[in-house]
Structure 1
């Protein structure tokens, strides 16, 4: 099964850069232009210069974001700003954060994981990827030959063996920083030979499920194929055969999966008519929510979702609680997907509400002509109030066990099925591919 190995990580020298909180960032794919500028200004050593450099009007094949990242990376290494650990280690990594008044601590193990093709069923995906995003990351690989940020993956540990092992290192972390969002990041290397052997043996019996970072995994496979073609061969432990992952127990109490609500606009009169209680009753038990307060709506949605896939359709005129009925279940069973996919709330919402009732298919969703997304129900209600949208489709979050079931079925989840909060930090450790 999975070959999970320690690595000689590249890390910032605290003596030279000072507060590590000033040089780390969230992952590149959640950083907008304004945040990018802020990270540039925060420190001359901020990892943004490697992970998501600024484009310039005179960029060309010899001078662009990727070549500048490579030059900066080489300069920082020669200056000792980034140094390589003297011995291989796994790294206990914790994120402590709050959401809606509740405290969470999510524990992961940072390591390098041997790349396997999807067909090997060692690392399992649950979503499709876009070519454009992969090309950008591949160019950065070619320039720097380093993983600057980890892929988030899950593993199963019903007995909690790894959780107990990591808890001993979490008590006194080597590094503890607080980022701009008030989230604490703790890091501690694990290089004791006995513990290293235990960890490697533990994962040798397990499959891994990608939770977040499918683009980066497929980019790593593409880069590996390129280098193999150039060299004609790769020795087994060549760094190119591995990628950086944060491995997290699927039952870790620190997981937080936020629902992704669908905001509907530019709907035709016929589509709006399909959101009536009479039309929705084809597939759902429909319960009007009379004068319910926003928090009451969410409470009722969560309670209904414990029994069957459930949703709230809200317009300026009404709020309807929907719970999948028998006819809806039969309709889902006619899909070309696995039973695991058919049980997903997001799959039911896409197939029965968006596609069957509203005529909005996956391509239309991707184009953004009728649907946009939010993780915050307050944004949905505000958009309804101002008339920005015509209806809000509120969902419950997707349980991570369902993600694993879809992956085991070799299926792919619908767009915007999960949002794992918070994202992993970029810049604490880096994985050299040499």
Structure 2
């Protein structure tokens, strides 16, 4: 199935860049303008100059963020700031972090993976993408011909074969540093030829599930197809047939999925009136919680969610714990989506609460007029208390197994269904496409 190969990674040379924390960044799509400016100031070799360059009023076809990224990439290679691995290898990549006073270690394998169309059912998606984001990334591909950041993908390893193999490289990492968020990153190349063969054989029997990076994957497909059309023929082993991925066991104990809560604003009085216990009984049992303390409400929500789909509607007056009823389940069955989709908490919340109860349309939820999103429960509670939001819809996180089930069903999840924490770092290993 999946063709997972080693790569000659393009990396920062340690004799030129001794502190990697100064030159790496989070993925481009979560970098704010303030953070972008900060990364520019931090170091002249920061990857931000390639991944998310600054626009100017004088940009034109010959001088723009993409041409400048290509110039920086070429300059850094010529200066020896970036160097290419002498031999193809895989990379053990670990992220050690703390969340809610719990310590996690997420383990992944960095590799280049052969691009396959969605229809081949080798690499499976779970969400739709937007054209604007793909156009930006495609322009960067054309200019740099390099994967600057990895796509996060999942694989199944019920026998723990890959986990045991990677564990042999985890004790003495070649690279180890801590980023500005306090996440520790560890990297070690895997050059043993026997292990390389075992890894390639392991993945040849497996499907991959994209967890984060759908835009980058579809951009890679578009770039490959563009080159194929230009050249009339593309050798099967051409680098453009592959993309950089971070491959993670779906059962990895370090895989942390955070819930994405919904903040509701600009609701008309008639819409607000639908968020009462009496109205919500149409699809849910309703329990008024005695507390509105963030920690306690979330604890109630998590406990209820272990038994069945559950949600909390939070207003300045009350916190209502909702549990799905048989009537609610029956209405979910009228959806044309797959059975896997109908079981998702986030799908139930969207269909029964946002669409049916509040009357919002899909375009209303993407426009930002009525719905905003946050992973931080404390921020959500504060926003409601300050009147910055009229109400909030609190959810539990989506299990990764459910993500895989939706992908297997060839369905797509609602917007903002998953948030994998932390994000993969950009600039640690890059994949040349030449």
Which TM-score bucket, shorter chain as reference?
over 0.9
SS at match of 1:373: strand
- Structure 1 residue 115: deviation in Å? 0.1
Query: TM-score, length-normalised on structure 1?
Result: 0.99
- 2:90 is aligned with 1:90: yes
Partner of 1:51: 51
Partner of 2:370: 370
SS at match of 1:62: coil
Partner of 1:240: 240
- 2:317 is aligned with 1:317: yes
Task: Out of 395-404 and 380-389, give the one that drifted further.
Answer: 380-389
- Structure 1 residue 14: deviation in Å? 1.0
Partner of 1:256: 256
Partner of 1:164: 164
Counterpart CA distance in 1 for 2:389 and 2:34 is 26
Counterpart CA distance in 2 for 1:350 and 1:367 is 15
Count of aligned pairs between the two proteins: 434
SS at match of 2:331: helix
Counterpart CA distance in 2 for 1:307 and 1:259 is 17
User: Per-residue displacement from partner, 1:110-156 (whole Å, max 9, x unpaired)?
Assistant: 00000000000000000000000000000000000000000000000
Partner of 1:350: 350
SS at match of 2:15: helix
SS at match of 2:169: helix
Partner of 2:66: 66
- Structure 1 residue 21: deviation in Å? 1.1
Partner of 2:295: 295
* Aligned residue runs from structure 1 range 384-395, under 5 A: 384-395=384-395
SS at match of 2:98: strand
SS at match of 2:142: helix
Name the Cα RMSD after superposition: 0.6
Partner of 1:25: 25
Partner of 2:16: 16
Counterpart CA distance in 1 for 2:25 and 2:231 is 34
Counterpart CA distance in 2 for 1:300 and 1:197 is 48
User: Per-residue displacement from partner, 1:164-190 (whole Å, max 9, x unpaired)?
Assistant: 100110110010011111110000000
Partner of 1:433: 433
The runs of at least 4 aligned residues of structure 1 exceeding 6 Å deviation read: none
Counterpart CA distance in 1 for 2:219 and 2:315 is 41
Counterpart CA distance in 2 for 1:79 and 1:318 is 62
- 2:138 is aligned with 1:138: yes
User: Per-residue displacement from partner, 1:73-119 (whole Å, max 9, x unpaired)?
Assistant: 00111111111100000000000000111100000000000000000
Structure 1 stretches of 5 or more lacking a match?
none
Partner of 1:272: 272
SS at match of 2:116: coil
- Structure 1 residue 203: deviation in Å? 0.2
- 2:26 is aligned with 1:34: no
Counterpart CA distance in 1 for 2:290 and 2:76 is 61
Partner of 1:178: 178
Partner of 1:231: 231
- Structure 1 residue 290: deviation in Å? 1.9
Structure 2 stretches of 5 or more lacking a match?
none
User: Per-residue displacement from partner, 1:228-277 (whole Å, max 9, x unpaired)?
Assistant: 00000110110000000000000000011000000001111111111111
SS at match of 1:209: strand
Counterpart CA distance in 1 for 2:292 and 2:215 is 41
User: Per-residue displacement from partner, 1:331-352 (whole Å, max 9, x unpaired)?
Assistant: 0000010000000000000000
Partner of 1:153: 153
- Structure 1 residue 380: deviation in Å? 1.0
Counterpart CA distance in 2 for 1:165 and 1:317 is 54
- Structure 1 residue 226: deviation in Å? 0.3
User: Per-residue displacement from partner, 1:182-201 (whole Å, max 9, x unpaired)?
Assistant: 11000000011100000000
* Aligned residue runs from structure 1 range 197-212, under 5 A: 197-212=197-212
Query: TM-score, length-normalised on structure 2?
Result: 0.99
Task: Out of 207-216 and 33-42, give the one that drifted further.
Answer: 33-42
Partner of 1:403: 403
User: Per-residue displacement from partner, 1:289-341 (whole Å, max 9, x unpaired)?
Assistant: 12343211111100110111100001111110000000000000000100000
- 2:91 is aligned with 1:128: no
